[in-house]
Amino acid sequence: MTSSSLAIRIASLPKAELHLHLEGSIQPATVCALAARHGILIAEEEVRRRYAYRGFPEFIEAFKWVTSFLREPQDYALIAHDLAEHLLTQGVVYAEVTLSVGVMLLRRQLPEANFEALLRATEPFESRGLRFNWIFDAARQFGPEAALAVVDAARQCASKSIVAFGIGGDELSVPTKEFRPVYDCAAEIGLHRLIHAGEIGGPEKIREGIELLGAERIGHGIASINDPELMDLLAEREIPLEICPGSNLKTGALARQLRCADPRIEEHPLPEFLRHGIPVVLSTDDPAMFHTTLCEEYANAARMGLREEELIRVVEMGFERAFLPAGGRHGA
C-alpha cells in the first residue's frame, strides 16, 4: 500500500482521542473572537507568534495566556463547539477531553456553570456520531490542596460523563507523593486516575505515578525509553502511554528524553514502545497550539516506520483503552 493510500485508509477509520486538552484546541481566529468578547483586540499574527515555542516553559506561558480569555460559560461553549466540528473532520467518534478545572478555580470561576455549558454545546454532536467524556485536570504546580478542590468540583458536577481525574502542568514541581490522598479521593468517587509523567521528567515520575497514585494511563511517558525495567513493567501491567508526537517535538520533550539537540519525528520512541508490548494510544495533546491534527499524528507514526497493521492496531487501542463500558466501545 502506498503512503497516500495508507493515509486515506487511516483517515477513513473511526478513531478515538484520549489525550486532548480543550483549552489547547483554540484556533487563532477563535482566540481573537474570545478576546474581542472581553474588549481586547488581538491580531491573529500575535496568536501565531505566541503559538511558537522554544521549550516547555514557553508553551506553559502561552497556555496561561490563551486561557486568560476563557472567562464565562459561553466562552467554554464556543471552544467546545469548535473542537467538536474539528474532531468530526478527523473521523473521531469518541473523545476524552481534558478540562483544566484547576485553572478555572484559580481564576475564581464556577466549574459547575462552565461544565454545564460544555455539555449543552457538545450534546447535539451525539446525533452526528461523536461522543464526549471528560477528564477533570489539576495543575501539579498548584499543589495538593488545589488538586483536591478539582476532585470536589467533579463530585459537585455529578455527571457520568466525567470519567477521570488527572494532573498535568509542571511535573518537576511538587513531589508525587503529596498527591496520594487526592488520588485516593478521586478513586473513592469512582473516577479513573491519570497523570502526565515522563514528558519532561524522568522515568521515576512514571513509576511514582503508577506505584504511589495508581495511575491507569500515563500522559506522554516517553521517558520510559531510558528505563528498560520500567518498559517491562508497563508491558506486564498493560498500562497505556498516551503518545503525542507533535507535542513532544515542539515542547522540546523529545529532545530532552533522547538527549539530542534537534531530533527528528522519525526518532520518536513510539515504535519501540509498541513493539515492546506496551499499549499505545495516539493523540494530539493541544492540537491548535501544536499545529497538528489526529490524522497528521498518524502520518507521523507512519514516518517512524509503523506498518499498516501496526497503525490499525493503534487505532483499535484508542477504543480498547478508553474509559468506556465494554458495550459502549466502537470498533475500528
**Residues in contact with 270: Cβ distance below 8 Å, sequence separation at least 6, in sequence order:** 243, 245, 280, 282, 301, 304, 306
For residue 313, with 0-12 CB atoms within 10 Å meaning exposed, 13-18 middle and 19 or more buried, which class applies?
middle
Cα 75 to Cα 170: distance, rounded to the nearest angstrom: 26
Q: What is the pLDDT of residue 80?
A: 98
The whole-number pLDDT of residue 306 equals 96
Judge whether 244 and 220 are in contact, CB under 8 Å.
Answer: yes
Report the percentage of the chain scoring pLDDT > 90.
93
The full set of domain ranges for the chain reads: 3-322
> Which is catalytic among the residues 23, 171, 199, 297?
199
Over residues 273-285, the mean pLDDT reads 98
pLDDT band at 332 (very low <50, low <70, confident <90, very high): very low
In this prediction, residue 1 carries a pLDDT of: 65
Superfamily classification of domain 3-322: Metal-dependent hydrolases (3.20.20.140)
Q: Is it the case that residue 61 has pLDDT exceeding 80?
A: yes
199 as an active site residue: the answer is: yes
Integer Cα distance of 41 and 222 in angstroms? 39
The pLDDT of residue 327 is above 80: no
- 126 DSSP 8-state letter: G
Whether the pLDDT of residue 329 is over 80: the answer is no
Q: State yes or no: pLDDT of 186 exceeds 80.
A: yes
Least confident of 26-30, 158-162, 324-328: 324-328
For residue range 222-252, list pLDDT tens digits in order.
Answer: 999 999 999 999 999 999 999 999 999 999 9
DSSP 307: -
Q: What is the mean pLDDT of the chain?
A: 95
Cβ burial, residue 208 (10 Å; 0-12/13-18/19+): buried
Categorise residue 305: left if φ over 0, alpha if ψ from -120 to 50, beta otherwise.
left
